[in-house]
Amino acid sequence: MNQSCSTDPLIVKEEDITNASSSLKAMGHPLRLKILCVLGNSEKPVLEIVEAVGTTQSNVSQHLEILRNKGIVTSRREGSRILCKISDEKIISLIGELRKTFCSM
């Protein structure tokens, strides 16, 4: 008989639970989630993110800083532009799963 893994805990270590909760809390804000969806697999300049999400540069920068502090987004300077991208393929995969679960196609 095959035993189902549905009763097995998905995350066991307390540190992993804390990290996951902290990251999900940061990503759970509507504007931050929108920023992550805009970034997807690509690296984009802050001004392009601002245009795509439809708010001010100051507002986007504040939310990007929160995502950077949680290690979800990285950024680098190229001349006068700041380029941002999602820091980990696992986060990109998670965003993809959220899209499959919650977005109408």
Report residue 17 CA to chain centroid gap.
17
pLDDT at res. 26: 94
The model's pTM is 0.84
What does DSSP say about strands 73-78 and 81-86: parallel, antiparallel, or unpaired? antiparallel
Reported as a single tens digit per residue, the pLDDT across 63-73 is 999 999 999 99
Q: Which domains does the chain have, with CATH numbers?
A: 15-96 (1.10.10.10)
pLDDT at res. 2: 44
